[in-house]
Amino acid sequence: MTRKNALLSVYHKDGIVDFAQALVELGWTIYASGGTAKALIDKGVPVTVVSTLVGGEAILNHRVVTLSREVHAGLLACDCDIAELESLGIPWLDLVCVDLYPLEAEIARPGSTPESIIEKTDIGGPTMLRSAAKGRRIVISDPGDRDLVISWLRGKASISEDELRETLAAKAEFVVAHYALTSAAQISSDGYFGFLGQKVEDCKYGENPWQTPAALYSNRPDDPLSLEKFEVLEGTDRSFINWTDVDRLLQTMTHIAAGCDLNCGEVPQIALGAKHGNCCGASVVTHNNCRGGETALKCMLDGDLRAIFGGSVMVNFTVDEIVAETLMTWEMEGDKRRILDLVVAPAFTIMAIEILKRRGDKCRLLVNPALAMLDRNSLDTAIRFRYVRGGFLTQPNYFFVLDLEDPDIQRFEGRSLPSQIRSLNVVLAWAIGSTSNSNTITLVNNGMLIANGTGQQDRASCCELAGMKADLAGLETKGAVAYSDSFFPFTDGPETLALAEIALILATSGSVNDQLIKDKCQELGIALLMIPDKKGRGFYGH
């Protein structure tokens, strides 16, 4: 049963007048503090200033207003406390609407100081939210929940009272926990670190069917490429691996986009195919090709027709009927159709969805329009973390972008290649290799991935694996670009690549044998680009 007294105290005043007016129309008494009270009074909303409730004015330059026993007694009282509240003249507060001082924004603001950060550290707000959550009041910590509460109070929301109160209490505790964690990290200069998230989807299972439950949580809803922003158009529940594949494909896709934007002045049409997190096919086609999407997909599939079976595909262009049919039938025998687990795109036509549907809804189709607007600013820059036994590791994200004009790149000419094709191939090889499990040697020719030799314990084996995969796929390695995600410790790697007639190698410098590598490439006629290992090493996914 609701007791119609509400306490409103918000930093951002947008929408608060409409919310308060709706409460008044429903017969509620409004208590408000400071600026919130003034904003409501100015618009003619009847308000009781909270300082009258606590028996005095705000003190300490308005830093202490709601931190009083009267406010918290009104939030924490149980039914058995009604008589005591009445004897003390304290109203039962059944609804609290609070948003907090913008601490994160102040920490991030250029020119912020320790004093300004302290000033924007809210104490009364989090305390009210926690008291209201413990007292199972209707507690609104997110402005987006105001409409739901008004709808429920009007009897128009299909949610029970207990569910409403429990859901809002949990969110309030989450908001306060995030706020406190932000403050702890700032005060300690990241001596304390943690992460919180909101569940957005239960996964079908984890990496294996016996690993349940598994779930996707969100903690960056402002990111247009956050996984929660990928809408499911078709298909059964996503598994843990589906989402890790999307994340890995996004790393590669955004690195290609950033590298091409920086070095070539445009983001081409990109088609990626992956298996177990690593690209098995990739292709880029410039926009002057009228059927660029179809061409990109054919080249991507040709990269490894065997590995793409049951794999995941991501593109940055609309999937129409022709593109969908290409995905299903290119280089398939007779009337057989390709089996895919996941297709991700900025848009699908209705006919394309019908073509890509798989019996049992086993082909998941995900859409996110942000994929069509990638550029050099699309990389994920959030801190990355990884569970290890007894704790977790953190590191900056993978946001290095290869700049072929970087003065730190050493250049040793070999066979000549058209500079435009060389740039595109080098960028594509780097973007794929640096987002594949190290150690990696990546081979690219004519704007397509022809082999990705990933995850080997020694670099020479990566070279051998890449050459073998290209041979198995029947792809031409002569004149191709090879990317190595770190330096070559010995000459056996370049010697293996020379057998495949590779024209250019991009690697890092930092080995005691760098000069031997340079001399060997010169002897073999292979052009060599070397960027310092400390700057451009591309290890990923250890």
Tens of pLDDT along 324-372? 999 999 999 998 999 999 999 999 999 999 999 876 678 999 999 999 9
Q: Which pLDDT band holds residue 466 (cuts at 50, 70, 90)?
A: very high
Give pLDDT, residue 34. 83
**Which tops the pLDDT comparison, 64 or 84?**
84
Average the pLDDT over each of 167-176, 279-288, 528-537 and give the range with the smallest value. Answer: 279-288
Residue 2 pLDDT: 63
Between 421 and 374, where is the model more confident? 374
Burial class for 63, CB neighbours closer than 10 Å (0-12, 13-18, 19+): exposed
**Which own/partner contact pairs does 11-18 have at CB distance under 8 Å and 24+ positions apart?**
11/99, 11/100, 11/101, 11/102, 11/122, 11/125, 12/99, 12/143, 13/39, 14/143, 15/143, 15/146, 16/40, 16/97, 17/43, 17/45
Identify the band that residue 291 occupies on the pLDDT scale cut at 50, 70 and 90. confident
Residue 493 has pLDDT above 70, yes or no: yes
Residue matched to tokens 């009104």 = 74
Output the pTM of the full model. 0.91
* 289: pLDDT strictly greater than 90: no
Which pLDDT belongs to residue 44?
Answer: 95
Lowest mean pLDDT among 262-276, 293-307, 406-420: 406-420
Compute the distance between CA of residue 374 and CA of residue 366 in angstroms, rounded to an integer. 17
Residues 6 or more apart whose CB falls under 8 angstroms from that of 62 comprise 34
The arrangement of secondary structure in 403-536, i.e. its CATH architecture, is 3-Layer(aba) Sandwich (3.40)
Distance CA 62, CA 241 (A): 51
For the record, the structure tokens of 255 come out as: 């690195």
Helix (H) or strand (E) holding 128: helix 124-134
- Write down the pLDDT at residue 55: 65
Does position 476 have pLDDT exceeding 70, yes or no? yes
**What is the average pLDDT value for the chain, to the nearest integer?**
93
Residues 228-242: b if buried by 16+ CB within 10 A, e if exposed? bbbeebbbeebbbbb
CATH 3.40.50.2000 fits domain 231-373? no
CATH no. of 5-187 = 3.40.50.1380
Q: Domain segments of the chain: what residues?
A: 5-187, 231-373, 403-536
Residue 58: which pLDDT band, with cuts at 50, 70 and 90?
low
231-373 and 403-536 in the same fold: yes
